[in-house]
Amino acid sequence: MHNAEGSLRERNRLETWTAIHDTAARLSFEKGLAEATVEEIAAAAGVSRRTFFNYFPTKEDAVLGVRAPAVPAEALRDFRGGDDDLFGRTVSLLAAVVMSMTRGGSPRGRRLELIRRYPELRTRFHQYASAAEKLVEPILAERLAGAAARPAPEDSVAAMLALAGAVIRFAYARDPEMSAGTDVAIENALEIFRDVIRKNP
């Protein structure tokens, strides 16, 4: 019974989150980002202003359908317990953290169109993307702590995160909607990067 209540509560939270986000995105398209107020978004979504801020700290977050990133427990276990492919595991971990910024039902194409139409939203999205990298940084540093001195562990961490971020951006640029599925798109992008590195030492 406890699990059923928990899953119902989570489903209700997801429905409310989606209603607020969809309404915020729709009103921003219809009226403009500046003209779509929190009060109007909340009323049209059928929630109070207080409920709005329980789900989204800013109007921009609601419009984008993003939240602060987190490290999913399963992704962390996979990273720590995986094989010797540290690059691939880092890409997978960073991708999971980036994906935690959104919830199901939030179309990436719509988000990209909103950012194109309202460039000021790009800054907010990049703040969250940087926060995702900051979450992965100490995990990767812990893994590389015993590595040889060259390159220095902090340089190795920075380089690995830069490469992992590039793979993820490349995957999204090739297929913004991730039509083949996120895991497949990321894996395909990772293979392209590996192939380029192998053939161009």
* All structural domains of the chain with their residue ranges: 2-64, 73-199
pLDDT digits (tens, 9 = 90+) for 18-75: 999 999 999 999 999 999 999 999 999 999 999 999 999 999 999 999 999 999 999 9
- Residue tagged 């793979």 (tokens): 167
Taking CB atoms within 8 Å and a gap of at least 24, the contacts of 116-123 are 117/29, 117/33, 118/28, 118/33, 118/63, 120/33, 120/60, 121/33, 121/60, 121/63, 121/64
Helix pair angle (2-31, 38-45), 10° resolution: 130
Q: In the structure, what pLDDT confidence band is assigned to residue 106 with cuts at 50, 70 and 90?
A: low
Q: Is 82 exposed, middle or buried (0-12, 13-18, 19+ CB in 10 A)?
A: middle
pTM of the model: 0.85
pLDDT at 174: 86
Fold of the domain spanning 2-64? Arc Repressor Mutant, subunit A (1.10.10)
What whole-number distance in Å separates Cα of residue 98 and Cα of residue 135?
Answer: 10
Half-sphere exposure of 39 (CA within 13 A, CB side): 1
